[in-house]
Structure 1
C-alpha cells in the first residue's frame, strides 16, 4: 500500500467532525462571554483601544463587537447576530449574543451525550416555535398615544448606559422626537431623527430641536444672524457662473469689451439673487457653492445663506419645513419655500451652527447630544440610538413585555412543560433551550453582585406559585418584583428578534462538521487550534 494521498495544499488546514463543532462552539462562547458582563443596569463598561490609540468606552454590545478585531469565522457569524439585532430593533444586542452563546454551550453538553447535531437543531426549532407563541401570549397591548408608557420604555433602554443620570429628561426628548416623525401609516423612519454630538457641557443639557441643526455657518458675516418667520429656499444647484460644456476660447482685444464681459457675469449673478429674492425667500440653503459676488448681493438683500450643505441634511429640511428642493433657480416660486419660526446662527462648543427651529409640523427633528467629554457624548448618543429603536418598535407594533428577566423565566418554565410532550432526543434539546433562556436573569444577578442561583430559584418559585408572568429581578433592590408595575418594560419585537437570531446562528454553527481553512485568514495566522481571535490592535491577548 502506498502512503496517504493529500488532496489539499500544504498551507490548508482541515478540521472535521467533533473537532470542527467544538472549535466553533468555543469561539461562539468566547464572544458571548466577552459582552456578558455588560448586560443590565449594573453592567460594566469595556475600554477598546485600536492600533492608532483611539479609545472607545462603552457597554453597548454591538459597538464592542464591531470595534473588536476578530478573525475566527465562527465568532464573526455571532457578531452578525448583534449587527442584525441593532439594525432591526436597535436594542437587545447583548442579550441576543449571550443567548446564542448559552445555546451553543447546552448543545455541547448534548453532543457529549452522543445526541446528533440534527436532533439538537430539530429540538431547538421546536422550542423556538413554542417560545414565539408563548411570547405573543404574554405580550400586552399598549396605547401608543400613552407618552408616559413610551417614556418608561425609553428609560428601560437607557438604564445602565452613560445617559442614565439624565434618563428622565432624555426619555422625554426621545418620545417627542419619535412621535414627531410617525408617518400616516404609523411607520417610523428613524433616519429622520438627526443626532448631532457636541461636547462641553453636562448630559442634562441635551435638547430636542423641532427642526434641523446644520453644522455650517453663514457664508458671509454681513448676512443677518437671525431670521424670524423664515421662508426657506432649498437649492441643489450652484449660484455661480456656469462654465461651458464644450471647450471654448474667447478673444477680447478691446478693454471696454473686457469690462462688458465682467459686467455681464455680474449681472447674471445679480439676476440669480433677484430671482431668489422675488420668490420671497429670506433663508437660502444651497447644496453646492455660492460665488463671492453672489454672497455680496445676498447679504445686501438681507438673505441668510448657507452653502455646501450635505444632501442628507437638505432632504431632512424638506421634511421639517415643507420646502421643495429646486434644481434651477428660474423654477423657484413662493410655493416651493419652506417655513420655520426662526433660523439663527449660534455658537456651540466653539463652532458656529445654524439652527432651523420652531417648525410648525416637522417630520424631521434633531437631538443635540451634550456631554462633558467626547467619550461621554459618544456613549450618550449610543444610548439615545437604542432608545429611539425601542420606542419606534413599540409605536409600530403596540406590544410590550416585562423586563428584568421576567419573560425568560416564564418562557423557560412553560417550555419545560412543553418538553414533556416531545418524544425522542429532541426533548433534551428543548429542555436545554429552556435552561439557556435563563442565562439572562442569571447574568443580571451576577452583574449586580447578587447570588445568581438564589435569585433564579426565587424567580422560578414566584412564577410557579403566584402564576405571575411579570415578576423579574430588580437589580437595584436585589428583590424579585413586578417589573411591569415598576415600569421596566420592553417591546415584544426586541425579545422575539433576539431569541430568533440567537437560535438561527446557533443552529448554523451546529450544522458545520467540516472546516477547511487557509493558514492565512484575514491577514493573520490561523493557529492549529483555529483560535485566531486576536485582540484589539495594540492590545494583544485581550481575548
Structure 2
C-alpha cells in the first residue's frame, strides 16, 4: 500500500450540489469507524507508507491516521478529536452520531425543509437533550472507589486490555487519585501529570504504578552514583560543554605551547561551568542538550547523577513534580531554585534503564510502567489505559455519571420525541429526526454484536416507555438489562460533549451551500468536490 490509509469518497458526485457532497463525505467518515463501536466492535489495521502498522478500535486514532482530503469529512474528524481532547473516550460515538445527524438532515432536505430550519431545530434539540441527560445522572464521589473502578472497566471493555480490565482499572484509579487536586471549586484532574512509559517484555500483569516520576533516560556515565538520596535537582536547558564561537573566526597557532594553552582554556571554561553547578548544591543534573565528555568526567568526580538529551516535555514534568526552575544559562543557577526529591535512582527494566524520581517535592505526580509482549500490544494498552484515566478524571471533576449500553440514547430518543410533539412548525420535524438519530448508537451496538437491531430497539423502547431509564443492551447475552446494576457506567461528559460537538459540526456542514476555490492557494480542488462554474 503506497501512502497512508485512505478512505475513498469517490468522484461520482461531481454533478451534485456542494451540500449533498458535504453530507456524503461526513457520512462516509462516520461509516468508516461505525463497526468499531462497543465491546464487540471490530479493529482496524492502519498501514502507512513505510509499512508501519497500527491495530486499534479507537475512533480518534483511526480518524487521525486516515488520509482524508475532503474539507467536510475533516469536520467529522475534528468532532472526534475534540471528544478525545475533552473527555478521552467516546470518540467513535461522537463520529457516528455526527454521521447519523447528517443522514437525518439529508432526509429532511429531500422533503423540502430548509437547512436553516434544520440547524435551528437541531440546536434546540441539543439543548433539550442536555437537560434530559441531567435528569438521569447518578452522582459519584471521590471516595466511591467501586463506582469509579466500574467506569474504568467499562472504558477498557472491548479493547486490547479488556481481559485485564480489573487489574488495569485499579492502577488507573490509584494513578488518578494520586494527582487529583481539591480546590474551592471542586476536584481538578490533569491526566498530563500521569506519565505512561511503555516496555516490551513481560506480562501485562507486570505493569506497575509508581508514585513518582519515571523518565526514560539513564546516567551518562556508569560510574556515576546509581542512587541519590535527598536529591537536589538542577534542570538545564543549556548545553554543559565548551561554548563554540558562533561568528567566523580564525585562530593562528604557531607553537605546541599555544595549542596547549588553547586546550587548557577550553577545559577551564568547562570546569568553571561544572564548578557553578557543584557550588549550587545540586547532586542530580538533567540537561535538555548535550554534556561533553570533559563535563561528564567532572560531574562524575563530584558524585553527581547526570542525564542528557531530555525532551522539553519531560523537563516540564520534572519542573512541576520537583519544584525546580528550568535554567536557561549557567549564570542563572541559584540554590533556592533547585528541585527536590527523596531519591533519584536508575533501575533496569527488562534490559532498559530508566530513572525513577520518588518522594517528589510536589506530590501530585504518578507514573505507570506498561508491560506487554509486543510493540503493538503495548501501544494499544497505552491508548486503552489513557482512555480509562481520562474517564475517571472527568467523572471526578463533574461528579456525574450515566448508565451505558445505549440506555441514555434510547431515553433521549423517547423524551425528545415527546418534546417534538409540543413544538409547532417545521422545527418539530428537525427535533424528531434529532431524536431518531440517537438510536443509531444502540442499533450499532446490536449490529456489531451480531444481534437483530430492530428487535433490540423495539425491546429497548418498550422498557424505557415503562420508565426503566437504565435499561440497555448487554452485547454478550443479547438481553436488555439494567446497565447500572450490571456495572456498565460512563461519565456524563462523554454524552454531553458528543452531543454538542456533533450538533455544531452538523450545523456547520448544513449551512454550507457552495464551495469556492480560494485565490492564492494553488493546487486543485479536493477530490469529489464540485468544480466552480466560471460562467457566472
State whether TM-score is above 0.5: yes
Mapping of residues 27-176 of structure 1, within 5 Å:
27-176=25-174
Tell me the residue number matched to 1:475: 475
Tell me the residue number matched to 1:283: 284
Compare 316-325 and 341-350 and name the one that shifted more.
341-350
CA gap 1:287/1:460 in 2 versus in 1, 3 angstroms: same
Mapping of residues 411-426 of structure 1, within 5 Å:
411-426=412-427
Distance 2:210 2:525 in 1: 47
Tell me the residue number matched to 1:372: 373
CA gap 1:444/1:521 in 2 versus in 1, 3 angstroms: farther
Distance 1:326 1:398 in 2: 40
SS at match of 1:400: strand
Offset at 1:266?
Answer: 3.4
Tell me the residue number matched to 2:7: none
Tell me the residue number matched to 1:196: 197
Q: Does 1:342 align with 2:340?
A: no
Compare 146-155 and 268-277 and name the one that shifted more.
268-277
Distance 1:514 1:206 in 2: 53
Q: Does 1:492 align with 2:492?
A: yes
Q: Does 1:464 align with 2:475?
A: no
SS at match of 1:138: coil
SS at match of 1:487: coil
Distance 2:82 2:523 in 1: 22
Distance 1:177 1:340 in 2: 19
Offset at 1:194?
Answer: 2.4
Tell me, yes or no, if the aligned pair for 1:144 and 1:394 is still in contact at 8 Å: no
Q: Which runs of 5+ in 1 are unaligned?
A: 1-11, 531-543
The superposition leaves residues 391-428 of structure 1 with CA deviations (integer Å, 9 ceiling, x where unpaired) of: 22112222111111111111111111111101122222
Tell me, yes or no, if the aligned pair for 1:39 and 1:447 is still in contact at 8 Å: yes
The superposition leaves residues 310-329 of structure 1 with CA deviations (integer Å, 9 ceiling, x where unpaired) of: 12111111222222323444
Offset at 1:153?
Answer: 1.6
Offset at 1:133?
Answer: 0.8
CA gap 1:262/1:110 in 2 versus in 1, 3 angstroms: closer
SS at match of 2:197: strand
Tell me, yes or no, if the aligned pair for 1:205 and 1:370 is still in contact at 8 Å: yes
Distance 1:486 1:266 in 2: 70
Mapping of residues 381-530 of structure 1, within 5 Å:
381-465=382-466, 467-516=467-516, 526=527
Offset at 1:504?
Answer: 1.8
Offset at 1:439?
Answer: 0.9
Tell me, yes or no, if the aligned pair for 1:441 and 1:456 is still in contact at 8 Å: yes
Q: Which runs of 5+ in 2 are unaligned?
A: 1-10, 532-536
Offset at 1:22?
Answer: 2.9
Tell me, yes or no, if the aligned pair for 1:200 and 1:370 is still in contact at 8 Å: yes
SS at match of 2:220: coil
Q: Does 1:238 align with 2:239?
A: yes
Offset at 1:268?
Answer: 4.2
The superposition leaves residues 236-294 of structure 1 with CA deviations (integer Å, 9 ceiling, x where unpaired) of: 23322334576666666675565455445434433443443344332221222223122
Compare 116-125 and 237-246 and name the one that shifted more.
237-246
Mapping of residues 212-291 of structure 1, within 5 Å:
212-243=213-244, 259=260, 262-291=263-292
SS at match of 1:39: coil
Tell me, yes or no, if the aligned pair for 2:14 and 2:529 is still in contact at 8 Å: no
Aligned residue pairs total 516
The superposition leaves residues 46-76 of structure 1 with CA deviations (integer Å, 9 ceiling, x where unpaired) of: 1122232221111011111121222333222
Compare 411-420 and 263-272 and name the one that shifted more.
263-272
CA gap 1:525/1:25 in 2 versus in 1, 3 angstroms: closer
The superposition leaves residues 435-455 of structure 1 with CA deviations (integer Å, 9 ceiling, x where unpaired) of: 110111111111112222222
Tell me, yes or no, if the aligned pair for 1:157 and 1:386 is still in contact at 8 Å: yes
SS at match of 1:106: helix
CA gap 1:279/1:307 in 2 versus in 1, 3 angstroms: same
Mapping of residues 299-378 of structure 1, within 5 Å:
299-329=300-330, 332-359=333-360, 361-378=362-379
Distance 1:512 1:327 in 2: 49
SS at match of 1:469: coil
The superposition leaves residues 97-148 of structure 1 with CA deviations (integer Å, 9 ceiling, x where unpaired) of: 1111111222222233222323322222221121011112222222134333
CA gap 1:327/1:79 in 2 versus in 1, 3 angstroms: closer
The superposition leaves residues 467-500 of structure 1 with CA deviations (integer Å, 9 ceiling, x where unpaired) of: 2322211222322222222222111111011011
Distance 1:77 1:522 in 2: 21
Compare 323-332 and 313-322 and name the one that shifted more.
323-332
Distance 2:12 2:454 in 1: 42
TM-score, normalised to structure 1's length?
0.87
Root-mean-square deviation over aligned CA pairs? 2.9
